[in-house]
Amino acid sequence: MKYHDDLESTSRANNPDAYYVEVTVGAVLEKIKNISSATSSYEARMQIYFKFDKDEFREMFRHYSRNVLADQIIDDYYAETGEERPHGTFSHDEWLDAHSDYFETWVDSHDHEYYPGETPSNVLTDKETMFVLGNGEFVPDSLGMLKELEEVQYYDESGNLRTMCYQKIRFNGAFEKAFDSVRYPLDSVQFKMYILPTMDADYIRYVPDRSTDSDGILVSGFTPYFGITSGYRLIHDTETVDNFTLRLNYYYDTNNDPAVHFDDSVRTQLEIIVRANRAGISLFLQAFINLFSVVIWIIIAFYSQSYTGEDSVGMLGTGLFGVISSMLVGLSMVSDAGIFSLITMINIFTLAVIMIMTYQAIAAKRAQVRKDKVLIAYNGIKLRVLFILLTVCTIAMFGIIPAIAYMWGV
């Protein structure tokens, strides 16, 4: 799977004979739920709407029928007329030209079956879904037409009468999730959804709908009753970050075959991004404070070993128990692996310190048994240096890094 920046080489500006149709696409989110760390997925309840020019779509479908559906058209002809189909190979183009009246009639009667918003339902189970989810799949029996096909006639700039078609559907999609911890130590999550037409860019090209209503609010976005489960809430819009992003990129899959040309397989891809933060910050602080307490306990043990010469080996069991209990607290409070990465990082740091402490404490005890004053002094210096380094790292981890993250918004 690869992405490309643009389609200038195949745009209408460079190719006046291009026959693709541009379909304006928008999205309205109703709910995000069933966020699961076990399957690394979530479910979104959403509405998608499509706007396209009927005449442009008919012209595109005429080319699509000739290039892709020729066999089906020929089979339909002989099935309807009862004539015997010619044996062997023959030119599809010549056959379609020879039966042009049937071809035009077939196109006129079947083009609506390939409209961008066509989807199956409990009644029309044989219909094909004319779009796919790039990073997920439809929840069974969730597809439904929210708004039947609506046609609006208007006059273009040249005074020609045109017909704009509008479709709106609703469905549940099970998506793979992507986490991005933007602000340490809080958890910021980005829910990403991708919508692709089943036809490639030679026939259909999506255009994101960035139109606004009378109040200047984007038509695409959230319903008034939108919500996210599992303790998340939308971030507040800022000048640099939005809680809802609708943008277009380009997708093609060469199936690991470098000989496949980009323009032969490219599809436009609508990307929807919803940004949220964990609402239950008190739960996170519970684990954060627990970890901080464990580290402070280890620093005290290290200080006792370094400056008073006390045997701190006996204190390590308590420290190790604290690390394990902190991990259990983290596992019980989070529903995903993103926020747990911070807890894991601190626990690895804590375990490393315990291992170093254990080694140094045993080395110091061995020097005491041997009554080697030089080795005792050397170990004392090492312990004090390690104590200072540990203190500096702890201050940075629990104070400086969070402060920098909030000041710079990283």
**What count of other Cβ atoms lies within 10 Å of the Cβ of residue 190?**
16
pLDDT digits (tens, 9 = 90+) for 25-49: 999 999 999 887 666 788 999 999 9
**Residue corresponding to tokens 């747990």:** 340
d(CA 16, CA 10): 9
* Per-residue model confidence (pLDDT) at position 195: 93
| Burial (CB count <10 Å: 0-12, 13-18, 19+), residue 153 | exposed
**Please, which pLDDT band fits residue 257 given cuts at 50, 70 and 90?**
very low
Half-sphere exposure of 252 (CA within 13 A, CB side): 18
d(CA 213, CA 224): 15
Q: Which residue has the higher pLDDT, 211 or 100?
A: 100
Helices (H), 251-400: 262-265, 281-307, 313-333, 337-370, 373-395
Average pLDDT along the chain: 76
**Please, which pLDDT band fits residue 366 given cuts at 50, 70 and 90?**
confident
Amino acid present at 76 = D
Residues 104-110, mean pLDDT to the nearest whole number: 93
Q: Which helix (H) or strand (E) segment is 47 a member of?
A: strand 41-53
Q: Is the pLDDT of residue 153 over 90?
A: no
Phi and psi at residue 276, to the nearest 5°? -145, 160
**What count of other Cβ atoms lies within 10 Å of the Cβ of residue 322?**
21
Distant-in-sequence, close-in-space partners of 349: CB < 8 Å, separation ≥ 6: 295, 393, 397
Q: 120: cis peptide before it, omega within 30°?
A: no
Rg (CA), the chain: 32
The predicted model scores a pTM of 0.68
Strand pairing category for 267-278 and 232-234: antiparallel
**Residue corresponding to tokens 């109040």:** 215
* Per-residue model confidence (pLDDT) at position 381: 78
Distant-in-sequence, close-in-space partners of 106: CB < 8 Å, separation ≥ 6: 65, 73, 76, 77
Which residue in 177, 167, 162 sits closest to 114, CA to CA?
A: 167
**Residue corresponding to tokens 């998608």:** 48
Phi and psi at residue 171, to the nearest 5°? -160, 165
Residues 185-193, mean pLDDT to the nearest whole number: 72
Q: Is the pLDDT of residue 131 over 60?
A: yes
d(CA 115, CA 364): 79
Find the range with the poorest average confidence among 96-100, 220-224, 280-284, 385-389. 280-284
Q: Is the dihedral of CA 182, 187, 188, 191 positive or negative?
A: positive
**What count of other Cβ atoms lies within 10 Å of the Cβ of residue 100?**
9
Residues 140-166, mean pLDDT to the nearest whole number: 83
* Per-residue model confidence (pLDDT) at position 405: 55
Q: Which residue has the higher pLDDT, 236 or 406?
A: 236
Decide if 379 contacts 302 (C-beta within 8 A). Answer: no
168: Cα separation from own chain's centroid: 23
